[in-house]
Amino acid sequence: MTIVRNLARRDYETVWHAMSRYTDLRDENSADEIWCVEHQPVFTQGQAGKAEHLLNTGDIPVVQVDRGGQVTYHGPGQLVVYPLLDLRRGKIGVRNLVTALENATVAMLQVFGIAAAPRADAPGVYLTEGPQSGNKIASIGLRVRRGCSFHGIAINIDMDLAPFLRINPCGYAGMQMVQMVELLPQVPTWKQVAENFVRELLRTLELSPAEWQPLEDTLLAQLSAEQQELNNG
């Protein structure tokens, strides 16, 4: 059974530290989990991130993180999904996981009448029809440690896209971002997008049906605090 958790709106660093700690504590019997969350405004810079892609971050914090990729923005109105999966146990390659995240996004968007596809030259999902064809609607950045994945994908639903103008999104100068609210007469709720995406991801990866469970605030705080203590130790 795959456990799916709705974390609602949380600050980025708490969730990052918690999923990192979960990854280090898990063993071969630990459940795979998928965390769905909405973050407070933050720029995150990947391991290979270059300062030149930070143009004018202003009052939005920049967090240096341990995922792949360059800089991106997270904020309210965006669905961020973190697949905490034992890739070795599931016989899932890293490239297969990236492809699954992209394909699940494409399938989810299709449910709502939006045509999109991945690109061979740049991870993520891009519109394929209409005046905004080529604009990016979902960004991916992963980390694998001890054969297990964390970090994940961010899908733009109904958010303020202006902060993306303060960076070169994913390291591409002039990259145009788009969101679901611009493309639909009635935008689905964050929860509807999350549920449809998770269903498509589980189907794509051929994982067991999901059981949605809350993540207790105390456990989230404990995992995060333990990781921060290790980082400072």
Supply the residues annotated as catalytic: 170
Tokens coding 141: 């950045």
In angstroms, rounded to a whole number, what is the distance separating the alpha carbons of residues 22 and 8?
A: 18
73 is in an annotated binding site: yes
154 is in an annotated binding site: yes
172 is in an annotated binding site: no
Number of other CB atoms surrounding residue 85 within 10 Å: 25
Read off the DSSP letter of residue 134. T
User: For residue 124, which of 110, 107, 138 has the smallest C-alpha distance?
Assistant: 138
30 is in an annotated binding site: no
User: For residue 178, which of 157, 153, 193 has the smallest C-alpha distance?
Assistant: 157
125 is in an annotated binding site: no
151 is in an annotated binding site: no
171 is in an annotated binding site: no
In angstroms, rounded to a whole number, what is the distance separating the alpha carbons of residues 53 and 172?
A: 8
70 is in an annotated binding site: yes
134 is in an annotated binding site: no
153 is in an annotated binding site: yes
What are the residue ranges of helices labelled H in 159-216?
Answer: 190-205
67 is in an annotated binding site: yes
With b meaning 16 or more CB within 10 Å and e meaning fewer, what string describes 36-49? bbbbebbbbbbeeb
What are the residue ranges of helices labelled H in the chain?
Answer: 12-25, 87-90, 94-111, 190-205, 217-232
139 is in an annotated binding site: yes
Number of other CB atoms surrounding residue 170 within 10 Å: 22
In angstroms, rounded to a whole number, what is the distance separating the alpha carbons of residues 16 and 113?
A: 32
Which residues line the annotated binding site? Answer: 67-74, 139-141, 152-154
Residues of each annotated binding site for substrate:
67-74, 139-141, 152-154
